[in-house]
Every structure is written in structure tokens, then in C-alpha cells.
A and B are shown apart, each in its own frame.
Chain A
């Protein structure tokens, strides 16, 4: 394009956001005198419809072909103005935004300073806009399938929604069964629905859905590619049980030589299982798995004369020769629903969790009150050798949450209510028990939560305002050392059972998923969303979405809502069948590229590869950019020794004049 630049400059008041510390008229007047500037105007809100119309009208009437909008950060409104000028027939990449709000009016107090800086920023944008090149956006095909990592309630819900919409879903679960943490819960607050009753049908649906391929006991090993075109490789771990032959009868587990010797993960170690096991009765798939770390045959090479399981399995499903398998497939979008870890109560040694069996966590309490739990739902504890029903019960909130001494400053959002719910369940089973909840605040923010809190208090559950500091044993009682802050009285409260309302933490193994999908963490260490308010389920990696507690602590209603949101977002490229790729990508000058591959190593998006080209009869290696993967970050350009790789719209020839116009280069 050799057309002479005709620049229009539009200075926004942004109400008083800009105009209170920048003399916008003076800026426009100044801009008007700069080379190639045809029109310079101000307007109260450039992003508004009339503001956009103003630009379009000028393009039409004045023949403008380059636009500078001096307003806010391009993050929000660059797409708005690109769209506007494209509608008026100007290439959308002939736009520059001068940020005179965040980087100018908001940081200055004196109007003289603000105005002087705004003038510089505008002149820099004008200098650059004149040198921009027209760019075309491209589209590529999108694979109409999704990968969902994690099959707790979040992953199950997201998978079901996408599958119901008619797309293929690969649902990958690390453990032998789907269900996640929700499967371990007894009742759910505030409605007291039985967790298993409402979850089990969804687990079964997920497994049987014609559009869902459930890969349980499997882990995602590799994800390459980009939105619309991810190549995925999954390891299906060996169960040592033939999936197709196993009928789930359980004969193997009841005959296993280490039966009832291995702590059950599902029962938080309070119940025991065999080496060949189904994690819990409603597990899906209802297929047995041999725990290779505990199986006598697999650890020692010997289990009696023949392994018992092999002996009793009528279906002949036991196969010690089984090996891990790999499956590969292509998807257009990925949903991360990897969940959370409960806070490890050992990290608050002052509560004596490691020392006292009658100091238990909230997750352990769930199993203890559950009819399918290790005690069949009876709240029984051991007092020395004697089995008793606890009479004095204390529940403690905020264990590992809102606590900088363990590095968790955030609120876990579920403990207030699950502790109230457990108090209710305890009251139900132990009508004569004295139940108290130690709290520092009660956050009953959700639908029906405050009402539930009211109900539980009236069931004679004492709320004592004080966060306990210490637990120790005196005789056969546990002493909770606290202060009742409402009457300023220090207490040594003697109880039989303490339930620690542990919070939620990011999963210890999240690093693997972060690396696979190039995700980041927010300051609370959970996965970082693209925008905390407006893009809460998106991530910085296009085509990768978050659902459930992987993104931050949530209750079940919020988890399900977010899973549905993530599913809806993931379906956008799937439904469209194609994705638009960024036009401002790096491009290699193959004539000067020396093939050092520095850019290949430095690229954070693995967007650059080396290719062999023929240069004047010689085979040489040069870098080539995969435009679908490139984000235009410019790291490659900074590393390149021969200035051969440059991002479009950010070429040296474009940004050096821009910098020069700021008057900071000597």
C-alpha cells in the first residue's frame, strides 16, 4: 500500500477520567499540526456508539486511512475500534491506541504534566500509525471435540454438556473411578441432598454417553497444537485387570491376601481395602484395579502359589502382564477440571492432628457420618481402648484458610457451610452431644446459606467466636485452648472429638497440568483465569478453559455453574468449526535468517520450528513461524542476532520511530 497516510486523531475525555488531568482540547490542537494528520477531535466517550460514528463519518468524508485513538489501554477497546474502522472500509490494523488514561491521567495530579505527557504519547502513536502495514486475519479448521481433564463434578458436568450438544468428549480421570471429592461427601449443604444420590446418576451418564470416551485411571501426557487443533496423548495406566472381561463382582477383592490392610483413599485412610479394589461401591467404571504399589505379586513377584485374585476370578480378567497403553486424539478445546487438595492439617502442628486420633479433618468427618463410610455412619471414636460416642464435640473453622502463617490468605468459601452441615449431622446422630463451633466469621453468602446457619444454631449448636490456638491432651480429654472473643475470656475447653474445618488448597500435582497447557497461577496459587470478572473461565492459552476448584475454592452449585460456563465457552470454536488466528504474528526474513535457532528455544509458545530451504542453490536451515501458535509477544525478535524475525505491527521500523517521538532516545 503506497497510499499517502491521512491520519485521524481522536482524543477521549473518558468522562472526567482523562479530562480532569489532561487538557484534551490542547492535545487535539497539538496533534492537528503534526505531519499527515488530517483531522484531530475530542469526544466525551470515544468507545460509545456516537464516538465510533464520528470516526466512521470522518473516514468517509475526509478519506482517512490511519486512525489514532487516544483513550484507555488497548486491552479493552482495541477490538472495538478495529471493528469500527473495518466497517468504514479501513484495514483494522491501521489503528494505534495512545493510552492516555492508565499510563497518563490516572498517574498524574497536575494538568500541565498530564497534558504534556498525553501530547508525547499521541505524537508517538501518530509516528507509528503512519508506518503500519495492512494485515489480514486467517482462519483454520477446528476439531469438533473436547478434552476434559478431571472427572469430579466439574469435569463430569462439562463433559455431559458438550457431549449433549453433539460433540465428541474425551474425559480423562487420573484415579480408577470418576466422582472426585463430591463422591466422598455425605450430605450437601444447605439442602442436605445425599451427595452420592445426586452425583451417581451423572457419573453413570458420563460413562455411558455415546459422545463421551471415558479414560479412567489415565493421565494426559502431552498436549501440542493450538485452539481448534490440539494433539493429545494420554497414558492409560495398567489396571492389571482386563477391562472388558471384569464383571465387577468383587470376588477378587474379598480373597486378596492383603485384604483390609491398605488404607482406603476414598475413606481418607479410616477404612481399609485390598490390593485389588474398587475405590467405593458406586465407582464408575465398576471395574477392579490392582494397586501395583501394594499387590504382593507385583511388588515381590510372589503371592502364595498363585495369586488369589487370579485363582478366584471366574471371568479370567486378571492379567499381570498388562502394560500401560497410549491413546492419541485431536481436540479443538480443553477444559481443566482438576480440583483441589484438602489442606493438610499436619501443617498446623499446634492442633495436634498427627498426635491425636480424635482430632480429625472435615473430610474424615464426611466419611465418618456417611452410611457408606468405615463405621456405617456411626460416630464412634476410641477413648484409649474403649469405643465411645463422643459427648463433647468441637468443630473449628478456618483451618488452613485466611491464614498467612501457612501461606493461605484466601477464604476457602465452603468451610463455614460444611462445618455447619456437619454440626447438623452430628446433632442428628448424637442428640445429647454438646456441639460447639469455633469461628472467626460466619460467611453464609450463598443461596439458602444464612437460613441454614440459622437452623443449625437453633439445633443447639453453640457458636463460639474465637479461632483456637492450640489443642493438647489432659487425661483422656482434648483441651481446645481458645478465647471467647465476645466476652474476652480465655478458655481451656475439654472435649472428646475435634473436627478441623480444613480449607481447600491448589493440588500439589498441578505443575504437570500447568506445563502441559502453559497455564499460570494467581497469587493464591490456583489456576489463573484470563480476567477475574469478564473472562472467569478462560485462560491465557486460547482454547483452554477452567472449571471448578482448580480455579479457586468453590461449593458445588458454583462448580457446576462454572463447568457449564466452561463447556459453553469451549463449544464456541467447536460449533463454529473454525478459529480465527492472530494477524500480528512474527514473520521471518528467510533471506537473512542465519539458522541459529535462538528464537526456537526462546519462544514460550513453541511456535517456531526450523525448516530447510533452498537459498541460491544451497540447502540452509531457517526459522519458520507457525502463525496459529504465535502470540506476537516479540521474544524471538529480541533474541534474534540478525534482526530477521519481527512481529508484524511491531517491527523495528515501526516502533523505533514511535520511541523516538517520545523524545526519550538520545
Chain B
């Protein structure tokens, strides 16, 4: 029996002895087609404590996108990717990280976001909008947490802006958190900054628990899954916005103007699908739009292909020159004849759109977050 006072070894922390070396983790790992990463081999080799430092110096530990396919499929309940994260932690603690990573982590510590933006400007996305701001003394049914990326990146800001307009119009009991809200830490965790992540979990739990929320509604699947899996002490349940919207849809509170005669293919984000088990809601929303023909990727739902946006990949460039998975995805969408690739994740929008532009398909195709599309169809 492990006493709480004892320090866990690497082997104990990641239950390395539970592994039966079946290979399902590496077999399912989406990046193996372009990177020299074999996560099972790491689980096997990390048993030797003397070898850990050597393993941590291998470049491929930064190729993991934290899609969690290995963890979802593991027959013994292990989380192989966390072994890689544990090795990243060793590097982060030694300070020998890429400057981009260092700056992102520092920014989370100082400003509560990884994008090196000032906390004071966190609510700038609300400009000209009539937004209800949460007050700890006032109970609210739907308390919205806006992802750092959505708050600061002008490309995906519309997700939050359209949400406000939609909520106002549908008469939903909601409020958005004030500027004191801090990053959920999804990427801090996957980059391996364990100490900072623990602090964030503690601080954010305390901060969020001050509010009397029926539930916390997240806009990004990364925040959604991180709150659900790493914040055990949150008072309020956490949902993804597509769940709320389907409720509104079923209550007849969402109506669209005109038609959208487009072929749309929906890309399942790993953090929403494989990790969050939400597959149907985004599709229901798309199907509710008149004129839309919903297509499906061959690799969809539980078999969706990762876009490589997670796992801290926003700050670490892969050394591989092989085709990016987001490019594969766009090509597949093209082959299906899709006009629009719809996603429900800000990271997926950024990676997929990047590849779409790189492939020179801007004229033929659009990559959109579902909220962007709904914003265009809302009766204002």
C-alpha cells in the first residue's frame, strides 16, 4: 500500500507495471505516420529510472498531440501519453525548453493566458456587445467560460461574440465570467509544467466555486475536458456549448434565416469526441440548418483523425517534413466534395484552416467553427 507521505516513483505514478505491451497505444497513435514517436516503447523503457533523462532528451516526446487516443484505447486503463508529459516535465523543470514554450508558460503565470496578452484586455472581445457579466452574489443557470484562444485570437473571437448574440436572442439565463478568469491549463498540463498546472487547478477551482452556477458552459473542448478530468472539486457540472445549443434547439428556441445549400463535413475534435464523448450534438446543430447536406469523413467519431492542434503543438513545431494530419484531413474533405469543414474547437479551426490555405483551396472551401456558421444564420 502506498502511503501518501511516500514519493511516487515514475513507474508508480504512471502505473508502468500495468502495461502488457499490447501495442494498441502506438497502433492508434495518429502521429506515427509522420513522426518517429512510439509511445509504447516509452512506456516500456521508462521503467528503467536511470534511462529517464536520456528518454526526456529525445525530440519525439514533443510530437505527441495529447489527442488521448492511446489512453482511450488502452485495455489496462493506462494513459501512455502522460508518460511523455512526465518526460516533458523533466525538461521543463530543467529550464531547457524552446523560448516559445517558456514564454507561453510565463504568460499563463503572469497574465492567465498562454498568448502573451495582458489580462486587462481579456474582455476586449465583448466590444459593442450587450453581455451579462457574472456576479458571485447572483445565481445563474449557465456560467460561460471563454477560452483564452477565443478571447484573444481575432480569427476565432466570433465564437464568443456570436454566442452572446444567440443567448440574448434566445432569452437564456447566462453570464460570462469577468476578466479575472484564467486559462484552464489544458496546454500547461500537456507541456509538462506540472507545478504551474497544479496551482492553476487550485486557483481556478476557488475562483469558479465563488459563483452560484447551475453549470459551467465551455466554448472550447480543451477547457471542457480539462475541467471535467482535472478539476475534481468544481461545484458545478461542466458542459460544452453544443450541448446547451441542442437543448435550445429541442425547445424551439433556435431558428435560422434562409437556407445554406452547402455540403458540410464535420470534423470531430479529439478533446470533444474521443475525450468528451460528444459526437451527436455538433451534428444535430449542423443538420438543423435548412439546405445543409451533412457529409461524413471515413475516419469519424471514435476513429476521427487528430488535427495536431493540441498537446502544446501551438508552441512546438514538429521536425517532420511529412504531410501534416490537418492537410490529410483537408484533402479527405476535398475528396468528399465538401464546401465547408465544420469543427467545434478553436484549435482545429486554426490548424485546418492553415492547411487549407497551404493547399491553396481558399476559393473552394471554408473551415469554420460551428458558432461562426450559426452566427451568420441567426436572425438578428
Given contacts A405-B75, A467-B75, A490-B38, contact A483 B26 (CB under 8 A): yes
A402–B41 alpha-carbon span in the complex (Å): 21
- On chain B, which size bracket covers the interface? 20 to 34
Min Cβ gap A646→B in Å is 40
Contact B298 A483 (CB under 8 A): no
Contact A483 B20 (CB under 8 A): no
**Residue of chain B at shortest CB distance from A492:** B33
**Residue of chain B at shortest CB distance from A351:** B303
Against A, the Cβ 8 Å flags (1 = close, 0 = not) of B147-171 are: 0000000000000000000000000
Segment touching A, from B2-10, B66-74, B231-239 = B66-74
Say whether A468 faces chain B, with CB atoms less than 8 Å apart.
yes
Contacting A470 at CB < 8 Å: which of B40, B41, B303? B303
A-B contact pairs, 8 of them (CB 8 A): A350-B28, A405-B74, A440-B22, A466-B23, A467-B27, A469-B69, A483-B32, A488-B41
A404–B77 alpha-carbon span in the complex (Å): 6
Against B, the Cβ 8 Å flags (1 = close, 0 = not) of A314-353 are: 0000000000000000000000000000000000011010
**Residue of chain A at shortest CB distance from B75:** A403
Contact B302 A349 (CB under 8 A): yes
Say whether A482 faces chain B, with CB atoms less than 8 Å apart.
yes
Contact B26 A490 (CB under 8 A): yes
Contact A483 B38 (CB under 8 A): yes
Further pairs besides A398-B22, A402-B20, A466-B27: 20, Cβ < 8 Å: A350-B73, A403-B75, A404-B75, A405-B77, A466-B22, A467-B24, A469-B29, A469-B69, A471-B303, A472-B298, A472-B299, A472-B303, A473-B298, A482-B23, A483-B24, A483-B26, A483-B40, A488-B40, A490-B27, A490-B29
Contact A490 B75 (CB under 8 A): no
Main secondary structure of the interface of B (DSSP, over half): helix
Contact A467 B23 (CB under 8 A): yes
Given contacts A405-B77, A485-B23, contact A350 B302 (CB under 8 A): yes
Q: A507: which B residues are within 8 A, CB to CB? A: none
A482–B32 alpha-carbon span in the complex (Å): 10
Contact B72 A483 (CB under 8 A): no
Chain A residues bordering chain B, tally (CB within 8 A): 29
Say whether B25 faces chain A, with CB atoms less than 8 Å apart.
yes
Given contacts A350-B302, A483-B23, contact A469 B28 (CB under 8 A): yes
Give B residues with C-beta under 8 Å from A. Answer: 20-29, 32-33, 38, 40-41, 69, 72-77, 298-299, 301-303
Min Cβ gap A492→B in Å is 7
**Residue of chain A at shortest CB distance from B296:** A355
Q: A485: which B residues are within 8 A, CB to CB? A: 21-23, 26, 40
A492–B328 alpha-carbon span in the complex (Å): 15
Q: B29: which A residues are within 8 A, CB to CB? A: 469, 490
A480–B24 alpha-carbon span in the complex (Å): 11
Contact A481 B77 (CB under 8 A): no
A483–B301 alpha-carbon span in the complex (Å): 22
Give A residues with C-beta under 8 Å from B. Answer: 349-350, 352, 398, 402-405, 440-441, 465-474, 481-485, 488, 490-492
Contacting A405 at CB < 8 Å: which of B23, B73, B301, B303? B73
Contact A481 B28 (CB under 8 A): yes
Contacting A469 at CB < 8 Å: which of B24, B33, B76? B24
Contact A405 B302 (CB under 8 A): no
Q: A466: which B residues are within 8 A, CB to CB? A: 22-24, 27
Q: A403: which B residues are within 8 A, CB to CB? A: 75
Q: A349: which B residues are within 8 A, CB to CB? A: 301-303
Which of B24, B28, B41, B77 is packed against the most chain A CB atoms within 10 Å?
B24
Min Cβ gap B1→A in Å is 13
Min Cβ gap A369→B in Å is 27
Contact B75 A402 (CB under 8 A): yes
Q: B74: which A residues are within 8 A, CB to CB? A: 405
Q: A467: which B residues are within 8 A, CB to CB? A: 22-24, 27, 75
Q: A473: which B residues are within 8 A, CB to CB? A: 298
Which of A352, A441, A481, A483 is packed against the most chain B CB atoms within 10 Å?
A483
Contact B41 A398 (CB under 8 A): no
A484–B299 alpha-carbon span in the complex (Å): 22
Q: B23: which A residues are within 8 A, CB to CB? A: 440, 465-467, 469, 482-485
Q: A398: which B residues are within 8 A, CB to CB? A: 22, 75
Q: B302: which A residues are within 8 A, CB to CB? A: 349-350
**Residue of chain B at shortest CB distance from A406:** B75
**Residue of chain B at shortest CB distance from A441:** B20
**Residue of chain B at shortest CB distance from A352:** B303
Min Cβ gap B55→A in Å is 14
A466–B23 alpha-carbon span in the complex (Å): 5
